[in-house]
Structure 1
């Protein structure tokens, strides 16, 4: 660190401490909105950017479009003049720090799709100014910040570490988690050089309970992938055990509940109908793709992906077997009600939800389907399941439930009365152990 740059960074840190520092957040979704509200609570003025004009207008009216985020929080921030949103990316020149929280999906070939990151960097470059901090939060492969972001931003004529500062700090959002929120989850921070790390840590020190600096942006990117690969591999393990133990007449849920009483050496993970969400089904393949550059085969990760991807097929087979055994009829002449379309309980987030795949597979086998979800009234348009867009959640009642041959519990929302559901349903296929947790059992309840 040269004396001149050290002095500049020190002045910027002093401005952060006095909250004379405007933070811009690109991508106002499940990551960007909680981050913005945490920054507002910490005393910073926030300018949010999004390409969705409707979303921008909704925020500026003080309304929340994410069910688990109360409208009051956004309304209070907007009314206080601490938070506003815009679709005008020319206003990036007004902010001192730019935090990027845009999607990083996979292509149909399961390769990283960095188009949102790249287009964002291209939007920033013409507006980039001296002393600005740019932080990428989107999950990606190790090296993205330095190998992709930095060259695109340096097209501005400014140099990272000399004129502006570049860092990576992976998001750790868990939508709907009431115990851990943005400000109470430690934040990993890696910088493109010591100056960028120092400045980025100063920003996040003001926003979260703890910052954890690491040696480089690539290390920070690897931390995020490691966290999610750990979960994906362990979920695959219990999914495989579920299939094995089911053949042996052993309940995997009972096994896990007993095993987790061990106070060391065991961490409970739970099976399900497949993986969902914006991280676990996608992030492992970012490392798989990058590893090929180094002639390394990620066999463990890919095997876990295969197991988890096969779970919807396993579940649909179980539905078909249960219908045949119970009623002597196949899926092609059956009506199936899917309970839950969100990827996990008590939220409206549908990204990569296995329920969408379950509906498609059931209908490919000839079944007639409907769904109920208290958080998802209408299935939105998605890249992989466009044909399902516009379908509406049906209202539940005893007579309606009885009209279906089977009820498939795919998401275990707490708002559902599973005892009443099981009492009305002719056949229940439960992928979440929801009925057992509600104290309900019976020969017509099948775990899958």
Structure 2
């Protein structure tokens, strides 16, 4: 028996006419850019977040994400098609609901889907025929149909007949000047052909290119594959850095020369560890799911171990250099960490290795402060609660000279490296920031 196509046809018409009301659940680094793109494409949009303060700031047109200007927020609100709320009562009035909530790991590195489950249960309270539900939160292959679908079908409505379910992995790269939400190709997979077609039609109205795949499971696997690829290659160069350093070879010079080969090589760079929501977390979603099939993902897990170990390697090197230069090690040493965000020129501290570096320095008796022009105060985090509320230290010559060492964790463009080079007693640079700028401080170590 063929599924009743009338709800699908009605929804497809609403989408094509830009009359479908799109609800975006979660207004963070994924949801807010998506909501703005949808408004700019001509759709009416309801943005939802459980953080009432964030909702109030967005409703006032304030800049809540550094690389999204307030003018863009104000323009979206001025259309009259962008509303924001902390209430879930309006979900039933949306034709499309896109789930953009966090999917972190537990301390045991297992998937933590409580936000997805809670959101699905909330949607179920007002689910109606003709709605399209899209999950964008990164997760293990099977989540959409094994976790979200059963919750929604507890209502008595059936996926593919009454409502439609799809997965489309987010591909945000915060602060990237070359690619944005609208220009990054969007992979979509549906729970059935009709759901896939509806999701494809939706995103075709939002982004430049849509890449349909055969199922939600395939779409979920695409996201994990992209980030596992990056995690494994970063682990490789992190390990090579250690090997080459023992030989007196500069890994950065090696990579810069190797990248001149026009085929067969793609540059990845070492660092003090991995940050952001994707690369440090996504690989473990697949290793967890693989155990269900009695498969060991040794290659992926080894890469995770190498990358997770990097903050410890950096702090060991810092301690050794302090011992060599001042004969004191870390105990009682004053350390200034440059950069708290997980990548340059953003204010995002999620899973930032800088936070782990600060904790390790503190645990070994160091007196640690940080400077980050984009993070004036460290926000509360699940993994580093003791650092919450710590303020950024202003940079000036006397302040820099007062520290025993400066540790570069994030190479923001806004940091005055020349000032640091002129006054720091010891610099441990994990990002090759000084060499790239042509600065040659007297006491500098690449780590």
Q: Residue 266 of structure 2: SS of its match in structure 1?
A: coil
Give per-residue Cα distances to partners, 1:1-29, cap 9 Å, x unaligned: 93841x54233222212111100000000
Check whether the contact 2:26–2:101 (CA below 8 A) recurs between aligned residues. Answer: yes
Alignment correspondent of 1:171: 170
Report Cα offsets for 1:300-325 as digits up to 9, x if no partner: 01000000011000000111111111
How far is the alpha carbon of 1:58 from its aligned partner?
0.9
**C-alpha distance in 1, partners of 2:226/2:430?**
24
For 1:223 and 1:138, the matched residues in 2 are separated by 13
Question: Where in structure 2 are the equivalents of 1:23-422 lying within 5 Å?
Answer: 23-422=22-421
1:326 shift after superposition? 1.1
CA contact under 8 A between 2:7 and 2:162: conserved in structure 1? no
Q: Deviations along 1:219-244, whole A, 9 cap, x unmatched?
A: 00000000000000000000000000
- Give the match for residue 430 of structure 1: 429
Aligned-pair CA distance for 1:95: 0.5
Describe the SS at the equivalent of 1:429: strand
Going by fraction, where is helix more abundant, 1 or 2?
Answer: 1
Shift of 1:435: 0.3
Asked if structure 2 preserves the Cα contact closer than 8 Å seen for 1:331 and 1:366, the reply is yes
Alpha-carbon separation, structure 2, partners of 1:181 and 1:397? 35
Which whole-Å CA distance do the structure 1 matches of 2:63 and 2:156 have between them? 39
Please give the TM-score of this superposition, normalised by the length of structure 1. Answer: 0.98
Tell me, in whole angstroms, the C-alpha distance in 2 between the residues paired with 1:436 and 1:160: 56
* Partner SS for 2:20: coil
What's the CA shift for 1:181?
Answer: 0.3
**TM-score, L = length of structure 2:** 0.99
Cα distance between partner residues in 2 of 1:331 and 1:262: 42
Aligned-partner SS, 2:369? strand
In the alignment, the residues of structure 1 paired with residue 400 and residue 3 of structure 2 have an alpha-carbon distance, to the nearest angstrom, of 72
1:89 aligns to what SS in structure 2?
A: coil
Q: CA deviation at 1:62?
A: 1.3
Take 1:321 and 1:367, find their aligned partners in 2: how far apart are those partners?
A: 13
- Tell me, what secondary structure is at the counterpart of 1:337? strand
Q: Do the aligned residues in 1 keep the contact of 2:422 with 2:441 (CA within 8 Å)?
A: no
Structure 2 equivalent of residue 2 of structure 1: 2
- 8 Å CA contact 1:59–1:84 kept in 2: the answer is no
Q: Partners of 1:358 and 1:439 in 2: how far apart?
A: 26
In 1, the alpha carbon distance for the partners of 2:176 and 2:63 equals 17
- Contact kept in structure 2, 1:62 and 1:79, CA below 8 Å: no
Q: Deviations over 1:89-133 (max 9, x none)?
A: 111011000000000000111100000000000000011011100
**Structure 1 unaligned blocks of 5 or more:** none
1:443 CA drift (Å): 4.0
2:11/2:131 contact within 8 Å kept: no
CA displacement at 1:399 relative to structure 2: 0.7
Give 1:328 shift.
1.6
Count of aligned pairs: 447
Distance (Å, rounded) in 1 between the aligned partners of 2:385 and 2:416: 30
CA distance in structure 2 between the aligned counterparts of 1:423 and 1:217, rounded to whole angstroms: 54
2: CA distance, partners of 1:286 / 1:369: 33
Instruction: Answer yes or no: is the 8 Å Cα contact 1:142–1:222 preserved in 2.
Output: yes
* CA drift at 1:160: 0.2
Stretches of 4+ aligned residues off by more than 4 angstroms: none
Tell whether the 8 Å contact from 2:3 to 2:160 is kept in structure 1 after alignment.
no
TM-fit CA distance, 1:75 = 1.2
CA distance in 2 between counterparts of 1:88 and 1:229 reads 36
Contact persistence 2:271–2:431 (CA under 8 A) = yes
CA contact (8 A) 2:319 2:330 kept: yes
Distance in 2 between residues matched to 1:261 and 1:419, nearest whole Å: 29
Q: Which runs of 5+ in 2 are unaligned?
A: none
C-alpha separation in 2, matches of 1:15 and 1:25: 17
Deviations 1:406-438 (A, max 9, x none): 000000000012122111111100000000011
What is the DSSP-based 3-state SS (H/G/I as helix, E as strand, rest coil) of the residue aligned with 2:125? helix
Distance 1:425 1:271 in 2: 23
Secondary structure of 1:116's partner?
Answer: helix
Contact 1:168 1:189 in 2 (8 A): yes
